[in-house]
Amino acid sequence: MEDEDPIPLSALQHHLFCPRQCALIHVERQWAENASTAEGRVLHERVDQPGRSHRDRVRTVRSLPLRCRRLNLIGVADVVEFQPPDHRPYPVEFKRGRPKAHRADEVQLCAQALCLEEMFGQPVMEGALFYGEKRRRMAVAFDTELRTLTERVAADVRAMIDQGRTPPPVHEPSRCRQCSLIDLCQPRRLAAPPSVADWLRRHLRD
């Protein structure tokens, strides 16, 4: 696994949101920006200033490089707090919007925890997602279910990159509208055509 290119932690978040989006970014190396990604980039530019500080016995490290050799993951943590009494790492990931129905953000944070566990030799049981729209943290427990999901997504991303194959689009309007790659993906034009039964059901409903 060491001989393979490491997987960016962000690829896990992209894959769980949409496998095709993940392949466009990490297989085909395509990218486009919209208002949401621009806001997210500005947020991270403010947060991701390397450095460290101490407050109330908590040591805070910003832009900490991460690596998990077991899963061949690599990335950068927005913030890692080392909290008393045992100074166990506590990752904090900053997101621009609000909590989501899917678990993509939680998987990205859990992947950071797996990196920190390997790097510091301590179990990391919890972290937090800070959403800019809510202006507060949401605690995330790294339980067995989330860890299993994270490792499965990492394996799926590894397989996708190794195969060099981009999945066909699946047009889901609510999800596709949020995606900055919609013009590159062209989900409405390239998605598989509906069956006759689906066509009849849709027109009868309309």
What pTM does this model have?
A: 0.79
Residue 158 lies inside a defined structural domain of this protein? yes
Residues 158, 6: Cα–Cα separation, whole Å: 9
- For 133, residues 6+ apart whose C-beta sits below 8 A from its C-beta are 96, 97, 98
Residue 160 lies inside a defined structural domain of this protein? yes
CATH number of the domain enclosing 22: 3.90.320.10
| 113: phi then psi, degrees, rounded to nearest 5 | -65, -40
Secondary structure (3-state) at 28 = coil
Residue 2 lies inside a defined structural domain of this protein? no
Over residues 3-37, the pLDDT tens digits come to 578 999 999 999 999 999 999 999 998 887 665 55
Structurally, the chain folds into a number of domains equal to 1
Residues 47, 53: Cα–Cα separation, whole Å: 13
Over residues 82-94, the pLDDT tens digits come to 988 888 999 999 9
Over residues 44-91, the pLDDT tens digits come to 555 556 666 777 788 999 999 999 999 999 999 999 999 888 889 999
Mean pLDDT of 177-192: 79
CA distances from 164 to 8, 115, 118, 157, 193 (A): 16, 25, 29, 10, 24
Residue 173 lies inside a defined structural domain of this protein? yes
Spatial CA neighbour of 101 closest among 167, 172, 205:
172
Residue 86 lies inside a defined structural domain of this protein? yes
Residues 26, 200: Cα–Cα separation, whole Å: 38
Mean pLDDT of 174-178: 83
Q: How many CB atoms lie within 10 A of CB 201?
A: 12
Residues 130, 138: Cα–Cα separation, whole Å: 6
Residue 1 lies inside a defined structural domain of this protein? no
CA distances from 30 to 15, 23, 117 (A): 15, 9, 32
Helix (H) / strand (E) element for 118: namely helix 104-120
Helix (H) / strand (E) element for 20: namely helix 19-26
Mean pLDDT of 169-176: 84
End-to-end CA distance of the chain: 52
Q: How many CB atoms lie within 10 A of CB 22?
A: 24
Side chain identity at 124, as an amino acid letter?
A: V
Q: Where in the sequence is the domain holding 80, given as residue range(s)?
A: 7-205
- Sign, Cα dihedral of 32, 71, 115, 99: positive
Q: Between β-strands 88-95 and 126-131, what pairing exists: parallel, antiparallel or unpaired?
A: parallel
Side chain identity at 115, as an amino acid letter?
A: C
